[in-house]
Amino acid sequence: MRKPTWMRVKINDTAKFNRVNRILETTGLNTVCVEANCPNRLDCFSRKTATFMILGRTCTRNCRFCNVTPGYPDQVDPDEPVKVARAINTLGLKHAVVTSVTRDDLSDGGAGHFARVVEAVRALNPQTTIEVLIPDFQGNSSALQTLVAAKPDIINHNVETVPRLYSAVRPQADYRQSLEVLKQVKALDPDILTKSGIMLGLGETLAEVTRVLDDLLAHHCEILTIGQYLQPSETHYEMAAYVEPAVFEELKALSEDKGFLYVASAPMVRSSYNAQEALELSKSKGNLR
């Protein structure tokens, strides 16, 4: 399929983009921006933002939509929390997003390492707000509690697609388990904002997407992102269609009417895009409730 005009990306500021690239190369840190081949990385880097990817570059799962390399996982770097904190300080970030590969080989799925990153970032950057985009930790409630105790501002866990497509798109994940992650976060700490995301263009129907919205709200999800799936390569799950921008706008209006605090819905939207704005607006709306 030919890429439509609305899917083309412009870089805003080459100098800032190059500076972020140099800092990341110097620290040796990974970003999901590069590993997942995110179409927004030029824009985000030029705005001096990045989503850090901890716990290595190799994922223990093989989701068919994802560009991150599957295979035997890397050794956990005990110095990584401090490295991330220093990079955030050097970049002067007001809001930091931290994600990871899935680490089913670790007893806690990497939750303790996530918590140490949050604590290190807080210690060096007390004014920086923190969002974590996490795997499901295989439904390990104790692991999730460890992360919640570190008190990131937002905990994000994506459901990614509609339940009918899970066996083809996310064969090692479970839709209901992902919903429970969000519900448990809110039960453990009502002050932490919950967030999730879904992709369009995988072959889902609008009726199925609407049911996912209802499920997310029923499991106390407050922030929502909806974006276009882009097939990373010929070996990945085949993209069914480019979804028109008008459909994203309709879903944004519907989601807001249903009660989400903040909704980002557009073809180029990804989990951490405009993340600081999502946090600020969600907090202000939440305080009005």
d(CA 249, CA 260): 15
- By residue range, what is the domain housing residue 89? 5-288
Q: Are strands 30-31 and 193-200 parallel, antiparallel or unpaired?
A: unpaired
Domain harbouring 34, CATH code: 3.20.20.70
Q: Is 3 exposed, middle or buried (0-12, 13-18, 19+ CB in 10 A)?
A: exposed
| pLDDT tens series, the chain, 289 aa | 778 877 766 655 566 656 666 766 677 777 655 545 555 555 665 555 668 999 998 899 988 888 788 889 889 999 999 999 998 898 888 888 999 999 999 999 999 999 999 999 999 999 999 999 999 999 999 999 999 999 999 999 999 999 999 999 999 999 999 999 999 999 999 999 999 999 999 999 999 999 999 999 999 999 999 999 998 888 899 999 999 999 999 999 999 999 999 999 999 898 877 778 888 888 888 776 6
The tally of domains found in the chain comes to 1
The model's pTM:
0.90
d(CA 20, CA 61): 29
What DSSP character marks residue 164? Answer: G
